[in-house]
Amino acid sequence: MNMQTVVVGTSGTTPADVLAVARHGARVELSAEALTALRAARRFVDDLAAKPDPVYGVSTGFGALAVRHIGEDLRTQLQRNIVRSHAAGMGPRVEREVVRALMFLRLKTLASGHTGVRAETAQTMAALLNAGIVPVVHEYGSLGCSGDLAPLSHCALTLLGEGEAEGPDGTVRPSAELLAEAGIHPVELREKEGLALLNGTDGMLGMLLMAAADLSRLLTSADITAALSLEALLGTDRVLAPELHAIRPHPGQATSAANMRAVLDGSELTGHHQEDAPRVQDAYSVRCAPQVAGAVRDTLTHARTVAERELAAAVDNPVVLADGRVESNGNFHGAPVAYVLDFLAVAAADLGSIAERRTDRLLDKNRSHGLPPFLAGDAGVDSGLMIAQYTQAALVSELKRLAVPASADSIPSSAMQEDHVSMGWSAARKLRTAVDALGRVLAVELYTATRALELRAEALGRTPGPAGRAVVRALRAAGAEGPGGDRFLAPDLAAAERCVRSGELVRAAEAVTGELA
C-alpha cells in the first residue's frame, strides 16, 4: 500500500502529485487553508441563494435552460438531476489511473475556494480516493468544453451513492454498496454543487500529465535506440559534436545529441565504414536523429508549460471570486490543453517514423553496409526480422492516423448555446494510444539494433561501446534471444517492449553513462 499523502491546498498542485495519486495510490488530504477557503466561498453562495435574483448555477437551469429561475424547493433536485442526466457516457470503461487523476484534479479545483461547494462535499471526494473507490467512466461523452462533462458526472454520481464503481479489489459493484462498506455517507447536493463537480478540464489534463511522463521516458529510450542503430550501421558519431548543435540552439536537440554521444562513448564500431567503404554522410534517419528527437523534446517542454498553467487554474463556471461575486466565464473551454495534446501526437508519430526508417535500413542488405538480409541466420531458409518490421510499420501508420488533430474539429451542442467545443478529451484519448504505439515501435528498433550489434561484433571482431553492451545484456536477461535461426518471434518483441516500458533499457544504459536526460 502506498503510504504517501498528498496535501491539497488552495494554490494548485504538481505533476508529481497527480501521478502519485493516479498511478501509485497516494492518499489525499485537504489542508486547513483549503477548508477555510471552501467555507468562505460557500458563505457567498448561500447568501446569493437566499436572494430573489437569479444566479447561474445557483438558482437557474443550465446551458440552454439557464433562462428558467429555480425556486428553493427544487434546487436540491436541480443539482441531483444535472449529475444524473449528464452521466450519459457510453463505450468501454476508462482506465483506473485516468479516473483517479480526473477525481483528484477536480478536488484540486474544489479546494481552491472558487467553486462554492461545501467543505464536506470536497472531503467526501477525498474519502473516495482514499478508499480506492473508482467510478465507472466511459470512453465517450466529453466534447472538451463545459469541461469533461459526462466523465465528471459519472464520478459525481458515485458521490451520491448511485451508479457503479470499481472497488479496491478491482470488482465493479453498485456505488452505494462500496460507500457503505467504506463508511462514506453519500452527498446530498446543495446549490451550485452539482454543476461545480462537472465543469472542468480535469480528464484531458490528467491524461496530458501522464502522457508527458511516459513520453519523457520514451524520449530517452529513443536516443538510446538511435545511438545503437547508428553504431550497428557503422555510422559516424562526429555529427553529434556539441559545437555542431550549439550553432542551432534548440535545447532539445543538444540534449538528444549529448545522450547519443554518451551511449556511443568507447565504441569500436562508429565510423568503421570509412576504412573500407567510405561514405560522405549517413542517411537522414541516422544523421538527423537528434534534430527530430530534440524537436519532440521541445514540444514536450511546451506541453508541460501549458499543463502547469492549467494545474494552477480553478476551472469552473460560474466561479466565486474573492470579493464574493459569482461570475460566468469561459475558462472551461479546453482549447489550450487540446492543442498540446494534438501537438504531442504529431511529435510522437514523427519520432516513431524516423525509428522505423532506421530499423528498415538495418534489415536491408543494400543499405546496411554488410549485415545479412533481415539479420537472418540463414537468409532464404530463415526470414529473420522481416515481419518484425511489418509490425513496426503498421504501428507507425497507426501513429500517423492518430496524429490527425481532434482540436481542429468542433460540433455544436446544447441547442447552439455551446456552439464551439475543443474535443480535448478525444485528443487525450488518442494521445494515450499513440504513446503506447510509440513504445512498441522503439521496442522493435531496440531488438533489431541489438541483434545487429552482436552480428557486427562477431563479423568484425570489434565491440560496441560499454553502454551498448550493457543494453544487449539487459535485453537478453529480459528474455529476448540473440541472433540465430528463425523462432517464434512475438515473445522476443514482447520482452523488448517490457524493457522499454519498465525503464530497464534506460537503467541499463545509465549504469554505464550516468544519468541521461
Catalytic site residues? 56
Backbone phi and psi for residue 114, each to the nearest 5 degrees, phi listed first: -105, 0
CA–CA–CA angle 14, 16, 18 (5° rounding) = 75
Q: With CA atoms as reference, report the closest residue to 63 among 159, 143, 161, 156.
A: 143
Q: Which residues have a Cβ under 8 Å from the Cβ of 457 and sit 6 or more positions away?
A: 269, 463, 464
C-alpha cell at 288: 538527423
Alpha-carbon distances of 384 from 357, 418, 425, rounded to whole Å: 17, 55, 41
- Give the 3-state secondary structure of 20-84: HHHHHCCEEEECHHHHHHHHHHHHHHHHHHCCCCCCCCCCECCHHHCCCECCHHHHHHHHHHHHH
- The CA dihedral of 475, 477, 480, 482, to the nearest 10 degrees, is 80
Beta bridge partners of 345: none
Which single residue is written with the C-alpha cell 465528471?
152
| Residue 504: Cβ-neighbour burial (10 angstroms; 0-12, 13-18, 19+) | middle
- CA 461, CA 452: separation in Å to the nearest integer? 13
What is the CB neighbour count within 10 angstroms for residue 358? 24
Inter-residue contact 300 to 210 (CB < 8 Å): no
Distance of CA 508 to the CA centre of its chain: 24
Alpha-carbon distances of 398 from 188, 263, 294, 372, 404, rounded to whole Å: 46, 30, 22, 29, 11
| Residue 32: Cβ-neighbour burial (10 angstroms; 0-12, 13-18, 19+) | exposed
